[in-house]
Structure 1
Amino acid sequence: MKLRLLSLFLFFMVTAGHGQNVAELIQQFSEDKYALYRKYPVQESKAYYTRFNLFYEGYRNVLKNLPYESLTAEAKVDYVLLQNQIEKEAYFHSLDEQKFDEVSSVLKFATPLYAFVEQRATGKTVNSPQTAQDFEDMTKAIAKAKETFAKAPFNSWQKADKAKLVVKSLQSALHESFDFYKGYDPQFTWWTVKPFHKLDSSLTAYASFLKDNYQNTSVKDDGSGIIGKPIGKSALLKSLELEFIPYSPEELIAIAQQQFAWCDAEMLKASQEMGFGNDWKAALEKVKGSYVAPGEQPAMVFGLATEAIRFLETNDLVTIPPLAKETWRMGMMSPAAQKINPFFLGGEEILISYPTNTMEHGEKLMSMRGNNPHFSRATVQHELIPGHHLQQYMQSRYKPYRSAFYTPFWTEGWALYWEMNLWDKGFAKSPEDRIGMLFWRMHRCARIIFSLSYHLEKMTPQQCIDFLVSRVGHEYANAEAEVRRSFTAGYDPLYQVSYMIGGLQLYALRKELVASGKMKEKDFHDRILKENGIPIEFVRAILIGEKLSPGYKSRWKFAQP
């Protein structure tokens, strides 16, 4: 590792005056990281955490020794971005390590198993009789460990869940290592097959035991069946800082409430045009009932995608490469996937959410109502062009090394920004279209409120579901799926916040540069795409020529709470 860092340091000391070399450092950072992921398969282990601590510290030292002032303006942006990325990853790595340390004693007997996995990584010849004995000894040790921990349950279900993950991580690597030798090495196979299967069964039972071994005072399920892990205010504040969002969770909730108020006013206008007066929920119900017949959803999606592209080109809003128009395609989302993602997903392939014959009658109706043509007017262009498909097409072709700095505030913010921009330009043709687009904007406001409130431990999952149903007008099953997705599908805690907040960032930047006449709108949009997916405050810094210093902190107040 020291030789690797020394070679990096010498290379960049010689060539750092060229911006491209900072880009190469970023690429090396990404490749080194993924090489270590592959090398250390037991990611819930002290060896893994210690190795990555050294990795992050090594790259910190490389950056510290770069001659920052001699870098090009673009390289300085990349330098600060890499500096922040290292701190972001190291921060969450340290949180995970602290949680690991709290429960690592559940495998204090497993040293021989870790050694076996390490041997497999380099294909060393195994002492098969000793390995068989180790497997036998570990099986007995697990039985004793269960007795010990049964007398001292964890004080929270989160710790119990982490303990389960620690065991499953080792068990997964153990499986892979066993399969590597089994059959190939006849001595290994002869000695270890039966002891391995006994150990494997014991590890499975041990993980299941640990998962439920917590004090009854630790509440896990509020009745919704959705079990997530609120991160708390301290981690939220640090996460926002690392995403260059200079607002507190409470301020972001206030911003969402302001946006909600605008949506409410526009909803009333559309409702009145439809003849429902101030009963906008009745108007919303009418719109939900406009769903197409089974079998007609793909044609509807194609028509909306084509219309959006034509609108963009007619108004000369963004460059759409011919190949980007040619290569998008469709897929259908499975009924199981719709329980997590009740609406469309997209990129190069848009995944259509619509009922199949295997779904229950009520589930069919909720899916059809929640994906009607007026709702889909926003989601189709959000997923395809100018949204995620165009983003991904451009990201793979312009400054692709910046994919290391992925942020949902750019990814989802861009797609949401276009919903706002197209609204301003009259893309919604009728009051029904406007209600469809407003439903989604209200949904994004609600996401900020319920997700932050959940992580601040002020709302439970069931309260989040009820909030989406009552405040936005969601179908219950769709609201439940949305909350399940938010808290159990592995999304970043700020992911749901990023849609509206990222969109507001780009909307404010457009006002600053396009509305003022400093840039043409098409040039503005093209430039954003060609800078790749970075925190939007850095997009602004690039476009206005702001000088950045190492350790730059967010200070752009793009919205007023």
Structure 2
Amino acid sequence: MRLRKSFFQVVFFCCVSIPSVYGNELYEMISQFEADKYALMRKYTIRESAEYYDRFVKFYGDWNDALKKVAFDKLSQEGKADYILLRNQIDKELYFLRIKQKDFEEVAYVTEFASPIYTFIRERRRGTTPNAMTLAKSFDDMLGAIKTSQEKISKATPYSSWQKADKASEVVKSLRENLKESYEFYNAYDPQFTWWIQKPYDTLWHTLKRYEEFLKKHYVNTSIKDDGSGIIGRPIGRDALIKSLQTEFISYTPEEIIAIAQKQFAWCDAEMLKASQAMGFGNNWKAAMEKVKNTYVPAGQQPALVDSLAEEAIRFIEQRNLVTIPALAKETWRMRMMSPEAQKVNPFFLGGEEIIISYPTYTMEHREKMMSMRGNNPHFSRATVQHELIPGHHLQMYMNERYKPYRNVFDTPFWIEGWALYWEFNLWDKNFPRTPEDRIGMLFWRMHRCARIIFSLNYHLGKMTPQQCIDFLVERVGHEYANAAAEVRRSFMGSYGPLYQIAYMVGGLQFYGLKKELVDSGKMTEKDFHDRILQEGNIPVEIVRAILTNQPLKEDYKSTWKFAP
């Protein structure tokens, strides 16, 4: 049996600088941090409870104490970078945990009656045999307590926002779901438990469900949950945006990043007019884009198009010796089709080892079919197939699994999406678009990424609604309406963080700026530059820069890099 090392054994290894198979000292400590976190998450499953928040505050405190014992000055450059990354990860996760904890504490009173349930759930973890008769009585007693609580809350002033009402509802939902899991652990396996508990549990579970639904709707009418778009998100505000940017080692304010996007948009506008004029449409770039959209291939032929575009991109990269593409990476990518339901959130491609293709099925309405086909025309697709496969996400993921995989703990969309978007910049510079139609295809996506910054940051700053974001994409970028709605829905209702949509353009500009610093200056070849990025793992781009430039690092490292042109 293999024994895991304790915090202190790992810290000892760090202090004496024993090299690892990855070339630095902290990979075991980082791996243990992630493993311990998920072990606790599997144990403490009542996510909205004082127990959960208190345990994780202690967890991050313990890890901060462990880091303080590391002799930072004795670490290698790679080790110092990993130390900074781990300290930053702890700080980031604790910061957002504290925000959630504060929100929880404001509504925790909604389950004041539930002490017997919490005790039942905790004791179930170790299989303690419950006193079924006593537990049945406590379940029955709680019915009246829930009724009293609901009456008291209904007479009080409603919650000031739907978000607060949602939080109160989530506290009850978290309790109810864990009650069900604990009940099912004993039910039928313990005859006494089933005989006493089955009916009281069923009544209590449904009472909690109704209570949960009541809380979800208990907010003032002036709190707008849906602006008519059907898209419901959670704006985080300026302070949380700034903290999020700091944890990504980005030294710009939200307003400065919006200004960067507007500058990039102006460049796109000028290039779009050039392409429109070359196609004979003068300054009517939307008419030129309409022609491009109508080059879509017939139903059933999109997979063959994607295959040819993927091979074309690989040939282009290899002929110019721009990055190492392992033979197995070329062999193992594959494709599948996206379901009609998934296309409501992802109207274009998704990528990785598989490229997931959006194209209509017979089940869609005619209007939906045409929007899907037009939005995935060959010239738009030519700009995105390489983004999803090689040299984009598939190559990234292939290398992440083989070089410094422990750094996946620090994964960031600024590296993932930034790298793929950077290649769109780089390929544009190398004349990858052959025709004005190709240039319009690439410019569409570049404008799209500028728009993502503008609408997503303004949304989180409270300056745009989801419907305004949809309209902005349609009018300013030329999206099909359904595709624009899917894009906004994905941004605010998907599983993406608040900075995800800005990460494409901002991360791309970071890599582009670093290329100018190291490749254009003659300090590295382009192939060596690209290979080193892929071999350093999925980490904030500024830390990649610190490693590649051998920049002096301090324990309390802060971002100062101004990478935008």
TM-score, normalization by structure 2: 0.97
Give the conservation status (yes or no) of the 8 Å contact 1:354–1:367.
Answer: yes
Whether the aligned pair in 1 keeps the contact of 2:335 and 2:355 (CA below 8 Å) is: yes
| Residue of structure 2 in register with 1:44 after alignment | 48
Task: Give the equivalent residue in structure 2 for 1:501.
Answer: 506
SS of residue in 1 equivalent to 2:117: helix
Instruction: Work out whether 1:62 is the aligned partner of 2:66.
Output: yes
SS of the equivalent of 1:41 reads coil
The secondary structure found in structure 1 opposite 2:26 is: helix
Give the Cα separation in 2 of the matches to 1:455 and 1:372.
32
Find the counterpart in structure 2 of residue 133 from structure 1: 137
CA 1:412/1:119 → structure 2, altered by over 3 Å: closer, same or farther? same
Q: In the alignment, does 2:476 pair up with 1:468? A: no
What residue in structure 2 maps to residue 559 of structure 1? 564
1:366 to 362, 371, 375: 371
Relative to structure 1, is the Cα distance of residues 10 and 318 closer, same or farther in structure 2, using a 3 angstrom cutoff?
closer
Structure 2 contact 17–75 (Cα < 8 Å) conserved = no
Corresponding residue number in structure 1 for 2:343: 338
Q: CA deviation at 1:16?
A: 6.3
Alignment of 1:223-242 (within 5 A): 223-242=228-247
- Which residue identity is paired with 1:38? R
Alpha-carbon distance change, 281 to 73 in structure 1, aligned in 2, over 3 angstroms:
same
Question: Contact 2:24–2:76 (CA<8 Å) still a contact in 1?
Answer: no
Alignment of 1:87-106 (within 5 A): 87-106=91-110
Q: How does 1:94-493 map to 2 (within 5 A)?
A: 94-152=98-156, 153-493=158-498
State how far apart, in whole Å, the 1-side matches of 2:111 and 2:495 are: 25
Deviation, 1:503, is: 0.1
- Tell me the number of residue pairs that the alignment of Structure 1 and Structure 2 aligns: 558
- Tell me which amino acid in the other structure corresponds to 2:36: D
Equivalent position SS for 1:351: strand
Q: CA deviation at 1:140?
A: 2.5
Question: In the alignment, is the contact (CA less than 8 A) between 2:346 and 2:487 conserved in 1?
Answer: yes
1:155–1:214 Cα contact (<8 Å) kept: yes
2:79 is aligned to 75
Please give the per-residue CA displacement for 1:312-336, whole angstroms capped at 9, x wherever unaligned.
1111111111111111111111111
Distance 1:180 1:555 in 2: 53
Matched, 1:546 2:540: no
Q: Which secondary structure state, in structure 2, belongs to the residue aligned with residue 343 of structure 1?
A: coil
Q: Is the 8 Å Cα contact of residues 422 and 512 (structure 2) preserved in structure 1?
A: yes
Q: Which moved more, 1:495-504 or 1:121-130?
A: 121-130
Q: Which amino acid aligns with 1:194?
A: K
Shift of 1:205: 1.2
Q: How big is the shift at 1:135? A: 2.0
1:100 Cα deviation (Å)?
0.7
Separation of aligned partners in 2, 1:323 and 1:140? 64
How much has 1:185 moved relative to structure 2? 1.4
Deviation at 1:21, TM superposition (A): 3.5
| CA distance 1:336–1:67, shift in 2 (3 Å) | same
CA contact (8 A) 1:17 1:72 kept: no
Measured after TM superposition, the shift of residue 134 of structure 1 is 2.3
- The one-letter code of the counterpart of 1:156 is S
Corresponding residue SS for 1:376: helix
Superposed displacement of residue 189, structure 1: 1.4
Q: 1:53 aligns with which of 53, 57, 60?
A: 57
Greater mean alpha carbon deviation, residues 10-19 or residues 24-33? 10-19
Pairing 1:8-19 to 2, within 5 Å after superposition: 8-10=10-12, 12-13=14-15
- Read off the aligned partner of 2:149 and give its amino acid letter: A
Distance 2:145 2:286 in 1: 61
Which moves more between the two structures, 8-17 or 185-194? 8-17
Deviations 1:386-428 (A, max 9, x none): 1111101100110011011111100100000011111111111
> 2:199, 2:219 → 1: CA distance?
32
8 Å Cα contact 1:17/1:70 also seen in 2: no
Equivalent of 2:29 in 2, 25, 29: 25
* Partner secondary structure for residue 109 of structure 1: helix
Q: Report the secondary structure of 2:355's partner residue.
A: strand
Please tell me the residue identity of whatever aligns with 2:144.
K
User: Could you tell me how far apart the structure 2 residues matched to 1:451 and 1:211 are?
Assistant: 26
How many angstroms apart in 2 are the aligned matches of 1:124 and 1:21?
Answer: 42
8 A contact 2:10–2:28 mirrored in 1: no
CA contact under 8 A between 2:231 and 2:489: conserved in structure 1?
A: yes
Tell me, yes or no, if the aligned pair for 2:25 and 2:75 is still in contact at 8 Å: no
For residues 22 and 351 of structure 1, do their structure 2 counterparts lie closer, same or farther at Cα, with a shift above 3 Å needed? Answer: same
Write out per-residue CA displacement over residues 434-473 of structure 1, whole angstroms, 9 at most, x where no aligned residue. Answer: 1011000000000000000000001111110100000000
User: Which shows bigger deviation, 522-531 or 220-229?
Assistant: 220-229
Deviations 1:231-288 (A, max 9, x none): 1111111111111110011100000001001100110111111110100000001111
TM norm structure 1:
0.97
RMSD: 1.4
Give the partner amino acid of 1:551.
D
- Provide closer, same or farther for how the CA distance between residues 83 and 313 of structure 1 changes in structure 2, counting only shifts above 3 A: same
| Structure 1: tracts of 5 or more residues without a match | none
Deviations along 1:481-512, whole A, 9 cap, x unmatched? Answer: 11111111121110000000000000000011
The 8 Å contact of residues 132 and 197 in structure 2, kept in 1 or not, is answered as: yes
Cα 1:400–1:31 change in 2 (3 A) is: same
Tell me, in whole angstroms, the C-alpha distance in 1 between the residues paired with 2:421 and 2:15: 42
Q: Distance in 2 between matches of 1:140 and 1:289?
A: 64
Query: 2: CA distance between counterparts of 1:14 and 1:107?
Result: 50
Amino acid across the alignment from 1:256: A
Q: Deviations over 1:159-196 (max 9, x none)?
A: 00111111111222122111111111111111111111
C-alpha displacement of 1:10: 4.9
Q: Secondary structure of the residue that 1:350 maps to in structure 2?
A: strand
Report the CA distance between 1:131 and its aligned residue: 2.0
* Residue of structure 2 in register with 1:528 after alignment: 533
Q: Deviations over 1:344-386 (max 9, x none)?
A: 1111111111111111111111111111111111111111111
